[in-house]
């Protein structure tokens, strides 16, 4: 047996780690200099493992490391929250901007129709008025190119040749619209123009081979029926205004079909954005309509002629200028909206715009509207909305 002396405890001495000069469990708190590695408060936490671990062996966690780790964690969390808030704020601003674009689109369109109708009532020369609108639009486009507001396009000869048919039908479409506005009420012109989807389907089927689905075809029935019902009960109805609006539908939809058929981007050509394309077409339309104006109506939009006709020169010229500016502005904003939303959304917005224009023109000009006429207009516009919704539904591919 071993004696009791063998179990006598040894004299107390501090345990040491790998380096004798660095005690693992100091007997008393240590005083650390500014560059030391062990904090006094951490001497009792030698067994705790912090975010960054203990390093080698069983050394205590550095307080500086813990603080920096916490700071990094807090900074990352704050950055994540800030990024999320910034994303939400950016989405709100984009929505607000898009709402402002739609508001301007409707506002410019309303004022264009009001000022244009006021001028056409006292100055029944639609070709002159259309030429003034193209002249102002061309001046605005050139100004934007010169000042750098709009990037000047690099257009090739092949693109120019392809744009000429678009400019021709664009010129005719605006001319026919002004002819209709001069003959019938603004509300009736826009009711007839609600038949644009009908002509779009017909022309696309003939020239592009794009056959509509059964549902799209059925959505055209309320459009045609509503326009027919509104026409039968229209107080300002006359055939010249009716057929002018119909011709406007055909020419504008022909422009859309031609743009799909002719404006094909080639590898060696720079594609044109919608705003530049519209600006080029406006300039070309001005030059195309100038000789037509000279040889048909003659140049009538002059102070001398207006004064000889007994008209208020300043009023007619001012309203003509405002109508032209609003015409060009609402077209520009329309293309800006089309650049950030889908064609279906733009089509729905255009349908709502037509409703707004019809209602405001009826209220402003105090146009007499019968209940049946209102019903026909409502049916036609509902058909346009239904058409725009059904167009986005793609037919399911046939399985073998």
Handedness of CA 105, 107, 111, 114 (dihedral sign): positive
Q: What is the pLDDT of residue 221?
A: 94
pLDDT by residue (tens digit) across 264-322?
Answer: 444 445 567 788 888 999 999 999 999 999 999 999 999 999 999 999 999 999 999 99
How many CB atoms are closer than 10 A to CB 197?
Answer: 24
Contact between 192 and 381 (Cβ < 8 Å): no
For the packed helices 157-183 and 274-295, what is the interaxial angle rounded to 10 degrees?
60
Q: Is 256 exposed, middle or buried (0-12, 13-18, 19+ CB in 10 A)?
A: middle
Mean pLDDT score, 235-250:
92
Say how far apart CA 322 and CA 136 lie, in whole Å: 10
Which of 37-41, 354-358, 390-394 is the most confident on average?
354-358
Nearest alpha carbon to residue 378 among 239, 233, 243 = 233
Give the Å distances, CA to CA, from 323 to 60, 263, 362, 395: 81, 30, 18, 42
Q: How confident is the model at residue 89 (pLDDT cuts 50, 70, 90)?
A: low
Q: What is the pLDDT of residue 157?
A: 85
Tokens encoding 45: 């936490």
DSSP conformational letter for 208: I
Say how far apart CA 75 and CA 81 lie, in whole Å: 10
Mean pLDDT score, 76-91:
63
pLDDT by residue (tens digit) across 121-141?
Answer: 999 999 999 999 999 999 999
CA 20 to centroid of chain Cα atoms: 75
Q: What is the pLDDT of residue 351?
A: 85
Contact between 283 and 141 (Cβ < 8 Å): yes
Stronger pLDDT, 39 or 318, i.e. the higher one? 318
Q: What is the pLDDT of residue 83?
A: 59
Give the Å distances, CA to CA, from 186 to 58, 83, 116, 117, 317: 89, 49, 10, 7, 21
DSSP conformational letter for 298: -
Domain boundaries, the chain: 89-209+238-339
CA angle in degrees (0–180, nearest 5) for 183-116-240 = 15
Say how far apart CA 209 and CA 83 lie, in whole Å: 49
Contact between 331 and 278 (Cβ < 8 Å): yes
- Taking the CA atoms of the chain, what radius of gyration do you get in angstroms? 38
Contact between 356 and 110 (Cβ < 8 Å): yes
2, pLDDT greater than 60: no
How many CB atoms are closer than 10 A to CB 338?
Answer: 17
Say how far apart CA 55 and CA 71 lie, in whole Å: 20
Q: What is the pLDDT of residue 396?
A: 52
Q: What is the pLDDT of residue 120?
A: 95
Contact between 220 and 202 (Cβ < 8 Å): no
DSSP string, 257-269: HHHHHH-PPPTTS
DSSP conformational letter for 59: P
């Amino acid at each position: 047996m071993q004696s009791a002396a063998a179990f006598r405890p040894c004299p107390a001495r501090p345990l040491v780690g790998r380096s004798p000069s660095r005690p693992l469990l100091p007997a008393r708190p240590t005083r650390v200099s500014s560059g030391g590695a062990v904090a006094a408060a951490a001497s009792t936490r030698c067994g705790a493992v912090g975010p960054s671990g203990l390093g080698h062996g069983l050394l205590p966690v550095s307080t500086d490391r813990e603080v920096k780790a916490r700071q990094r964690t807090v900074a990352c969390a704050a950055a994540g929250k800030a990024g999320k808030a910034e994303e939400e704020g950016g989405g709100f601003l984009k929505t607000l901007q898009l709402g402002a674009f739609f508001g301007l689109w409707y506002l410019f369109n309303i004022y264009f129709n009001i000022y244009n109708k006021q001028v056409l009532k006292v100055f029944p020369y639609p070709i002159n008025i259309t030429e003034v609108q193209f002249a102002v639009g061309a001046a605005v486009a050139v100004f934007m190119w010169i000042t750098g507001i709009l990037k000047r396009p690099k257009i090739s000869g092949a693109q120019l040749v392809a744009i000429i048919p678009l400019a021709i039908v664009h010129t005719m479409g605006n001319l026919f619209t002004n002819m209709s506005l001069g003959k019938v009420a603004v509300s009736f012109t826009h009711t007839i123009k609600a038949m644009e989807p009908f002509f779009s389907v017909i022309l696309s089927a003939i020239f592009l081979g794009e056959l509509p689905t059964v549902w799209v075809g059925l959505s055209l029935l309320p459009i045609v029926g509503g326009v027919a019902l509104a026409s039968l009960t229209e107080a300002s109805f006359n055939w010249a205004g009716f057929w002018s609006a119909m011709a406007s539908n055909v020419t504008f939809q022909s422009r859309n079909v031609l743009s799909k058929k002719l404006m094909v981007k080639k590898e060696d050509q720079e594609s044109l954005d919608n705003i530049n394309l519209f600006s080029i077409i406006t300039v070309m339309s001005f030059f195309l309509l100038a000789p037509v104006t000279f040889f048909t109506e003659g140049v009538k939009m002059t102070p001398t002629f207006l004064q000889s006709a007994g008209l208020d020169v300043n009023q007619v010229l001012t309203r003509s200028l405002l109508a032209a500016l609003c015409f060009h502005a609402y077209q520009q904003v329309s293309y800006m909206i089309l650049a950030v939303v889908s064609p279906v959304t733009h089509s729905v917005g255009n349908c709502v715009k037509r409703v707004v224009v019809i209602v405001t023109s009826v209220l402003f000009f105090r146009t007499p509207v019968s209940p049946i006429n209102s019903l026909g207009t409502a049916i036609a516009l509902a058909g346009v909305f239904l058409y725009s919704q059904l167009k986005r539904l793609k037919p399911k591919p046939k399985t073998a």
